[in-house]
Chain A
Amino acid sequence: MLAVQVLVNALVLGCLYACIAIGFSLVWGVLNVINLIHGSFIVLGAYLAWAAYQWFSIAPWYSLAIAAPLFFGLGYFLQRVVLNRVITAPVLVTLTLTFGLDLILNNAMIYYFKADYRKLTLNPPMGSVSILDVVVPVDRLMATGLALALTGLLYLLLRRSRVGRAIVAVRLDRDAAVLMGVDVKSIYAVAFGLGAALAGCAGVLMSLIFPISPLTSTAFLGKAFVVCVLGGLGSVSGAIAGGLLLALVEGVGSTLFGPAHATTLSFGLLIVFLVLRPQGLVGRKGFE
């Protein structure tokens, strides 16, 4: 049945969207920085997975374990050395700064990898499963499963670990956290590192499904934006809610109006939410 297929597609895609957005959402919610490098991190992660498979025959799910610490380190370093200098500056500065950093990273990727699209094709291919007339490609299913696992891991980290609690504290009230003895500078770096790690891992998962090229980084970034505004900043539940909503709107919109309008719809929805409900479905007002 078409409706069920659309729904299932939306569910699968929604989880992937949530995974793309969660790192971005965390950084925005905790550091109050809109990290425009996020899209490029995702693409870089995809390249890593591709290279690992191409040259060392390492399957993407194992690449996750490589990507996570590498990207964490990259993000931690970037925040401590560059971003921390402007952490109290108005959004104009931080946005333009991350834009500049993204230009550097993106240009570097185009220079070294060239802009042509690559595809990570698994050998042997995984095919698809069919349950009651609904078809889902297995690689997408696996990616979704892993995406959910990653998101769940982050959730546990934020709830259960000391570092996680500190991150949430800083997100809720930075000044109070300082008074409680939290080393905010270090937490910022950890949170940014986490955001980068999640982006890198999301990229690894994306490599299973989408073609890889530096030119796709803005598309990923755009999705992350919309998911954050729709769902709410800085929380796992927000990312999932936003991801599902976006995927649903795109799926239904595509079916009714054709796929060409999908991006317009999503950004139009973004603006509607910004005006009517800026805190998103789940978020609480005042975290701008």
Chain B
Amino acid sequence: MTRTNVALLVLIAGVAALPLFGGAYALRLGTIACMYAVLALSWNIVGGLAGYPSFATAAFFGFGAYATGVLLGKGAPLAVSVMFSLIASFILAAALGAVLLRLRGHYFAIASLSLVEVLRELVNNATDLTGGGMGLNIPLASGSGILADAMFFFYAMWGLLLATALVVIAVMGSKLGFGLACIRQNENASNMIGLNANLYKSIAFGLSACFVGAAGGVYAAWVHYIDPSDVFDILYSVKPIVMALMGGLGSPFGVVCGAFLYLGLEELVWRNYIQIHSGVLGVLIVMLLLFLPHGLTSLRARMFWGRARHV
């Protein structure tokens, strides 16, 4: 267990104490913070560890949201529905990954981006099941009172964050993590030493999707109403990348810090500049990429810029 991993777990444990210090607003913020951290940590598996720039996060977020939403609508308990989202997302991603991860660089990025579009349109058109463009109303799944509700969902998302973090830490210390690092540095050489790169990449893609899907499920239950353009929003793909870049690719602790920092900035901007908040987000992204490409924890900088060529 490396020092930064310990720091990560301490941070997450600290977040658990949030309800002691705040009311409904703090709980809402905390829930989103945990959700963002789950998305960023998950993306890091395929984007940071394996080196494949995936823009598919929104696809699985939306998929998970709708899977849970539909099941809840049919009367299934929350835990079962979210678990289903988790498992189904893993299987879907692993299967799609086997095909899509054969692509490299730009083509993979585009393909993963298109996945979001395709899934959104499929959900849009499956009106009988999902309510299509009119959205899906999701029945209340837990106790009474706003605060109790908020507390429940905060801990649900927090629990998911803890699970994600533990899995990520386990992966990074395992043969899988070592293999992904090999693939990131040199995929051909990885195959040559007997590593089944396609299998590892598929598993990584699956892992990067399952907690995202579960997060989508919890989100859907929390907000009680979702529609395709809301959950299949491309921003759910881009924000985790920005968070990971802010925190420093590859380091789970850095990525989670990046997620929390990003949320802080987002809230600040939303409260003060609501009309131009997406513009400000854009400026943030541009500034970050131009001036701080190594993220705030610049430990893994070399890894990130490794394949740059010079004009």
Contact = CB atoms under 8 A, between A and B. Distances in A.
Complex contact flag A–B (Cβ < 8 Å)? yes
A58 interface: no
A34 B106 contact: yes
Interface stretch (A42-50, A61-69, A133-141, A260-268): A260-268
Contacts of A91: 53, 105-106, 109
Interface string B98-109: 011011111101
Interface stretch (A97-105, A142-150, A157-165, A203-211): A97-105
B286 A288 contact: no
Interface stretch (B78-86, B112-120, B145-153, B166-174): B112-120
A7 interface: no
Nearest to A32: B106
A2 to B, nearest CB: 24
B278 interface: yes
Interface string A70-86: 00000000000010011
B53 A103 contact: no
Contact of A92 (B109, B121, B275, B276): B109
B51 to A, nearest CB: 9
B281 interface: yes
B118 A93 contact: no
Interface residues of B, number: 49
B21 interface: no
A100 B305 contact: no
A55 B120 CA distance: 39
Interface stretch (B2-10, B237-245, B252-260): B237-245
B279 interface: yes
Given A92-B241, A185-B311, A271 B111 contact: yes
Contacts of A225: 110, 113-114
B163 interface: no
A34 B109 contact: yes
Interface residues of A, number: 47
A85 B290 contact: yes
Interface in A218-244: 218, 222, 225, 229
A274 B113 CA distance: 12
B103 A95 contact: no
B191 interface: no
Given A85-B290, A278-B103, A111 B279 contact: yes
Interface string A104-145: 111110010000000000000000000000000000000000
Contacts of A28: 106
A101 B47 CA distance: 22
A87 interface: yes
Contact of A271 (B53, B114, B234, B283): B114
Shortest 6 CB-CB contacts between residues of A and residues of B: A100-B285, A103-B282, A107-B279, A104-B282, A264-B121, A92-B53
8 contacts: A89-B293, A89-B308, A90-B53, A91-B105, A100-B283, A100-B286, A102-B282, A288-B105
Interface of B: 47, 53, 55, 99-100, 102-107, 109-111, 113-115, 117-118, 121-122, 124-125, 234, 238, 241-242, 245, 275-279, 281-286, 289-290, 293, 304-305, 307-311
Interface of A: 28, 32, 34, 82, 85-93, 95-97, 99-108, 111, 174, 178, 184-185, 218, 222, 225, 229, 260-261, 263-264, 267-268, 270-271, 274-275, 278, 288
